[in-house]
Structure 1
Amino acid sequence: MDTVTIKKRLEFHTQRLDNLYLAYNKLLSGGVKSYRLDDRELTRLDLGKLSDEIKDAEEKVDELTALLNGQSARKAFAVIPHDW
């Protein structure tokens, strides 16, 4: 992946993350009963799902930042325990 593509993706996901933070804070503060984010309407009941989306977006921003700085992206791996 080239640097220009990484920068575009990083900018997109950073903006997405900012919007998610704003929605979460508005709902958490109790100042609004619902919040419209793009084409969906969120309520306080959606805070758990919104929190998961924030976590995913933060991981994506971290991954793209690492790629931009010349580091390798984090890769997930599984450990399978054996009972011997």
Structure 2
Amino acid sequence: MTTAQQMVDKYIEAELAVLDGRTITFGGRTLSMADLKDIREGRLEWERRASAAAGSAAGRNKGYSLATFN
């Protein structure tokens, strides 16, 4: 099973490869500079998932908190 952090790492590798002017095959698609926006959007999504997974593992809540006003 691929973890969210592993997916972030793959998207970073793809982003770096494309920025270096190379094409890369990722998820069955061949990506080039024209696909950089899609790669970055995918990376951001997986970074959010990795952050949420890390928060859950650390026992933190789901991104919200409750305030008590006296």
Short-chain TM bin: 0.7 to 0.9
Q: Within 2, Cα distance between the matches of 1:25 and 1:36? A: 13
Which ranges of 4 or more aligned residues in structure 1 deviate by more than 2 Å? Answer: none
TM-score, normalised to structure 2, is: 0.81
Cα deviation digits, residues 12-60 of structure 1 (max 9, x gap)? 1111111110010010122x1x110131111110000111111110010
TM-score, normalised to structure 1, is: 0.69
Unpaired segments ≥5 residues, structure 2? 65-70
Q: Within 1, Cα distance between the matches of 2:40 and 2:27? A: 17
Q: 2:37 aligns with which of 32, 44, 48?
A: 48
Q: Which residue number in structure 2 is paired with residue 3 of structure 1?
A: none
| 2:62 alignment partner, SS class | coil
Root-mean-square deviation (CA, aligned residues, Å) is: 1.5
Q: 2:58 aligns with which of 48, 52, 69?
A: 69
Unpaired segments ≥5 residues, structure 1? 1-7, 76-84
